[in-house]
Amino acid sequence: MEEKFDQVKQFFQDIEFIRLIKTSNEDYDLAREFEHQHGLLSFYDYLHVAICLRLNVQLITRDRDLIEFAQNQIAVSKPEELLR
């Protein structure tokens, strides 16, 4: 299992247009705050919003509930909207 993880990790590290981002303690804290206030999504959904907020980047998702929550915090688009 660890070998498979290492292969996937290496794949993403080798792709020039993908940047791996490490989460910060502040990301976790904000995600927990979102989870406490809103509580309808998974912690990891809130973590994605927190990371996007910190990096000032757009979230790309088709998850309707995540879009509804995130659009009040950050810019959000569905993948197909980027192809127009």
> At what angle are helices 43-55 and 25-37 packed, to 10 degrees?
130
In a domain, 13, yes or no: no
pLDDT at 84 over 80: no
Identify whether 2 is part of a domain. no
**E strands of 1-84, at which residues?**
59-60, 76-77
pLDDT one-digit tens code per residue, 42-78 = 999 999 999 999 999 999 999 999 999 999 999 999 9
Residue 17 in this model has a pLDDT that exceeds 90 = no
Query: In this structure, is residue 46 part of a structural domain?
Result: yes
| Per-chain mean pLDDT for the chain | 94
The number of folded domains in the chain is 1
Is beta strand 59-60 parallel, antiparallel or unpaired with respect to 76-77?
A: parallel
- Note whether residue 15 is domain-resident: no
Identify the domain containing residue 39 by its residue range: 24-83
Query: What is the model's pLDDT at position 56?
Result: 97
Q: Is residue 44 in a domain?
A: yes
Q: What residues form DSSP beta bridges with 77?
A: 60
> In this structure, which amino acid lies at residue 7?
Q
The answer as to whether 55 is a domain residue is yes
Q: Residue 43 in contact with residue 32, Cβ under 8 Å?
A: yes
Mean pLDDT, rounded, for 25-54: 97
Three-state DSSP class for residue 75: coil
Confidence of residue 19 (pLDDT cuts 50, 70, 90): confident
